[in-house]
Amino acid sequence: MTGYVFGPKLGAAAYNLSHTYVTVGAVWLIGHWFRIPSVAPHCHACVARIGFDRLLGFGLNYPNAFKDTHLANI
């Protein structure tokens, strides 16, 4: 959400980057590779948060407005 201070295009890009399973998977893989055990619980929490957001209808954002997502117009 902080990215929206710098405009809707940058805000949507930052939000979408942090709310995808690919990003969480990459962070988990790096933590697993370097044997950092505290990364896994954080990744599990992120996966749960992303899933809960999708359940509520919040999807990835379009750059024109925060309320326009790929799932619905909120």
Q: What is the 3-state secondary structure (H, E, C) of the chain?
A: CHHHHHCHHHHHHHHHHHCCHHHHHHHHHHHHHCCCCCHHHHHHHHHHHHHHHHHCCCCCECCCCCCEECCCEC
pLDDT tens-place values along the chain, 74 residues long: 788 889 889 989 998 999 999 999 999 999 999 999 999 999 999 999 999 988 988 888 888 877 778 887 77
Say what the pLDDT of residue 65 is.
73
Please state, in angstroms and as integers, the Cα–Cα distance from residue 65 to each residue in 20, 28, 39, 58, 71, following that order.
19, 30, 32, 13, 14
**This prediction's pTM:** 0.80
Say what the pLDDT of residue 38 is.
96
Rounded Cα distance between 12 and 7, Å, is: 9
